[in-house]
């Protein structure tokens, strides 16, 4: 995996509300190529593992319940400066603080249910992509 890739999930809140297509359009229109993509659902154990870095935070239980309550869309994305540019495209964790036009400003409802995930580093992009996809699923 090279550093022009990032990993995203369209979270259960956004899938439930029918925002999947609009979010994917915005991702493509912003210059990201979809390398891998699937609709799937995290088990509680999957969510605990994916978000293990947050296990001591007060919101961890809510986060695990939220992320495992329904389907998500997981994808690997490619673009120059993918990690940073995707974090800019999604906006701040709290949608009330997210810039106008960002995915979270448009589609998130709260700091917890915030529509999309984006990797925070090249290293985590690799770890998170490999959590969901094998090498032969990356195009």
In whole angstroms, what is the distance from residue 134 CA to residue 23 CA? Answer: 24
Which of 11, 117, 125, 126 is labelled catalytic?
117
Min CB(139)–ligand IDP separation in Å? 25
Min CB(51)–ligand IDP separation in Å? 6
Which C-beta is closer to ligand IDP: that of 121 or that of 135? 121
Question: Residue 47 to residues 41, 42, 94: CA-CA distances in angstroms?
Answer: 10, 6, 20
φ and ψ at 76, to 5 degrees?
-100, 135
Contact residues: ligand IDP, CB under 6 A: 54, 59, 62-63, 93, 111-112, 114, 117, 120
132 is an active site residue: no
């Amino acid at each position: 995996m090279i550093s022009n890739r990032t990993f995203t999930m369209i979270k259960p809140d956004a899938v439930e509300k029918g925002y999947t297509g609009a979010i994917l359009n915005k991702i493509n229109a912003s210059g990201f190529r979809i390398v891998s993509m699937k609709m799937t659902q995290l088990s509680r154990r999957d969510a605990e593992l994916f978000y293990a870095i947050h296990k001591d935070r007060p919101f961890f239980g809510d986060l695990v319940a939220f992320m495992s309550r329904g389907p998500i869309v997981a994808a690997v994305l490619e673009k120059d400066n993918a990690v940073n540019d995707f974090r800019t495209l999604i906006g701040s964790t709290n949608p009330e603080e997210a810039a106008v036009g960002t995915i979270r400003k448009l589609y998130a409802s709260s700091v917890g249910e915030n529509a999309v995930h984006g990797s925070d580093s090249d290293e985590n992009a690799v770890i998170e992509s490999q959590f969901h996809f094998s090498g032969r699923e990356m195009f």
